[in-house]
Amino acid sequence: MEPAPQVEPDADAAAPGVTLRWTPRFVLGLLAVAVLASGFAIAFRGGLSFFLSLASATDVVAAMASAPWALRLVLPAVGGLLAGLIGVVVARAPAGHGVGDVMEAVVLGRVRLSVRVTLLKSLASFLAIACGGSLGREGPLIQFGGASGKLVGQRLKLAAIDARVLIAAGSAAGFAAAYNTPFAAVLFVVEVVTGVMALDVVVPTLLATLIASAVTRAVLGAGPLYGQRAFQLGSSWELLAFAGLGIVAALGAQGFMRLLSAGEDLFRARLPLPWRPAVGGLLAGAVIAFLPEVAGNGFEPLNRLLDGKLALGFIALLLVGKCFATTASVGSGSPGGVFTPTLLVGGALGYLFASGLAVLGIPVGPPGGYALVGMAAATAASVHAPLLAAVMAFELSGDYAIVLPLLLATSLAALVSRSLRRDSIYTAELSARGIAWELTVDGRRLEPRKDG
């Protein structure tokens, strides 16, 4: 096997002294990108709601729960086949379309993003999700935001550095529109995409998320995505339990990521497009036929989990089923995110962890609070971004009382996860293409890396 080629940044990307210019065209571009990202998010989510309303359902889980078991088995395979057929077309395009490509475009200046390709991938993701695939919907929204930044930069003939900032701002706007978490969206760019706190990126990103969040909230509502929560920390000693949860969530997230990677390798080695996602959908459907709660991104069961409305045995079954169904859907090539499924995995681990401590006679607070912290810790472990994960969980729930456990658990989870595997779920994409970079106090830098 030949070694992957080393990739150098563009000359413009590496040029010192190049700074952002706040010209009228750039300000117009920033406004356009934020509106495009939020408008696409509203259309995507509204389209899913309309599609499900045809089946007299309010969400994917409800639609699957009311369908006959044979339809639960077959429908995800149909969605996977349709996604695979679109994937055949997309595979011929040289442009990038993932979060890793957004990172490459912003940091290295190697812009391979295409709105056309992103729209095709988004359509494939829409069909797979609408048919019950175990996928997150955040991926298309983030990717479209980044691709729209590239498109607007081209149309306005902006300088390369200005266009790269629009890509970063667009991806943050898509993130904010997906989760209604503007602060976490900015931290997504800072911790995950750029790795540095640069005002030339942060200020435009703040403005883009402000606009995108305002537009999305005006149409879809302004409350926390998972409803207002009020979990309490029983005592300072309970922080030790949350520290333990951070470690457990890191191990669980690592297992989930490795399962996804193994599933992707297995599917790629055995099946070509378009049959690969069809078989993956059939395997996911085999789980959904008996456990419809694993359909979709995991939002609905996670809400019930935070409310303490699920039995322990069912939570354990849901955890295993979601990991398997998501691996079948994502690993087989159906385009979609794993961010929200990771939240469900972490939430289930947190709830089971707290319940286990209670069985052992260790006094703990409501298990729903541990589910919330588990969500954040698993996210931090998968993307190596503890502050993003902590702030996101706070914004998703509106629960300030749980901030200290969030910071502790996410920090430990990210530290343990990085010690086990240097790559996050996003940088692993780039490493597979020969783009290995390290995050240092000087920011991101390219360098060869031998470990995985």
How far, in Å, CA of 278 to CA of 136, rounded?
18
pLDDT tens profile 368-384: 999 999 999 999 999 99
How far, in Å, CA of 310 to CA of 301, rounded?
8
User: Which residues in 231-357 belong to E strands, given as ranges?
Assistant: none
How far, in Å, CA of 191 to CA of 170, rounded?
16
- Check residue 418 and give its pLDDT: 93
How far, in Å, CA of 320 to CA of 324, rounded?
6
Residue 373's identity, in one-letter code, is V
Is the domain spanning 238-446 CATH 3.80.30.20? The answer is: no
User: Which residues in 370-442 belong to E strands, given as ranges?
Assistant: 437-440
Write the CA distances from 412 to 61, 203, 386, 405, integer angstroms. Answer: 33, 29, 8, 11
- Check residue 444 and give its pLDDT: 59
* Mean pLDDT calculated for residue range 171-175: 95
Residue 236's identity, in one-letter code, is S
Hey, where are the domains in the chain? 11-220, 238-446
CATH T-level fold of 11-220: Clc chloride channel (1.10.3080)
pLDDT tens profile 113-159: 888 899 999 999 999 999 999 998 888 999 999 999 999 999 999 99
pLDDT tens profile 303-322: 899 888 899 999 999 999 99
- Check residue 438 and give its pLDDT: 64
3-state secondary structure of 446: strand
Contact 44, 126 (CB under 8 A): yes
238 burial type by CB count under 10 A (0-12 exposed, 13-18 middle, 19+ buried):
buried
| pLDDT over 70 percentage in the chain | 89
pTM, entire model: 0.89
Contact 216, 180 (CB under 8 A): yes
Domain 11-220 matches domain 238-446 at the CATH topology level:
yes
- Check residue 5 and give its pLDDT: 40
Q: Which residue has the tokens 């056309």?
A: 116
Contact 175, 156 (CB under 8 A): no
